[in-house]
Each structure stands twice: as structure tokens, then as C-alpha cells.
Structure 1
């Protein structure tokens, strides 16, 4: 799945175009590597690091969502790493 679509489905970005702009600006790291394309492939077990407000969010992808559901459902697909 594409990183921009994933961030939208996980409700971390309000729109897919916003997630795409974050990726193209280089704000997101995938498994420690800086990505610059919204089309970067994400798989189960990947570690995603990104700024969220004033903090840095690090999460591990547990499963790939099929749709953009409610927030309570979206939180089941990843685990926050502190």
C-alpha cells in the first residue's frame, strides 16, 4: 500500500493530498530511511516515523487497513512506539 493512502486510512492525515505533501517534503521516515514519494510501499512490520504537532510519532504497522474507518478501528492497525 502507498504511504499517503495508509496515513489517510489510519486517520493520521486529514486528506490523502496532505499525506502526499508530507511525504514529498521528506517529513516521513520509513524504517529509518527518509522518503520523498507518496508512492513508497508500506508493508506489515514497517516502522514509520513522522512529526505530529509538536511531537514525533513512531509507530509499527501491525496490519494494512482496507478502508478509512472510525478512529477506534484505525488504531487497531498500528502500535505506537515510545
Structure 2
């Protein structure tokens, strides 16, 4: 079976990337500096710099932490979909 990181909806890439940085900030994985242009809502409160950003060195993230970030993204997307479907 072939695996691919191809986005089903390419227009959502920015939102998913922003969510990734928000979750990293919530987990305390932000190290200061620039978040590569990502605007993280909680970065300054949870370890980002006072200038409002933070940086995650993704090559230094433990596999467990990366899995936690991915799992949290999935959980939030499922919760959002349930809320949307509940309104139909």
C-alpha cells in the first residue's frame, strides 16, 4: 500500500499548519524565535516569545510528541466535523 501526504483539499494546508503550531504551543514545544510565519493564538502564553511567535525544530521533536500533535489535529478535526454535521 502506498502512502502519500497529498492533501485532499490543498486549500486547507495553511489552516492545518497553523493548527499544528497551536497544538505544539499548547504542549509546550515552542522554543522561541519565529514560527515560520504561523500565527499561533497561544504561543506567547505557552512558551513563545513576547513578539508573539515561537519556533518548533521539527527534526528535534520526539516521535511520541509528533504523534501527539497529529492525534490532537485528528481529534479536533473530528470534533469540528461532528459539530457541523449535528447542525444539519
TM range (shorter): under 0.3
Give the TM-score taking structure 2 as reference length: 0.25
Q: Which is higher, the Rg of structure 1 or of structure 2?
A: 2
Structure with greater contact order relative to length (CA < 8 Å, sep ≥ 6): 1
Which structure's residues are more often helix, by fraction?
Answer: 2
After TM superposition, the score normalised by the length of structure 1 is: 0.26
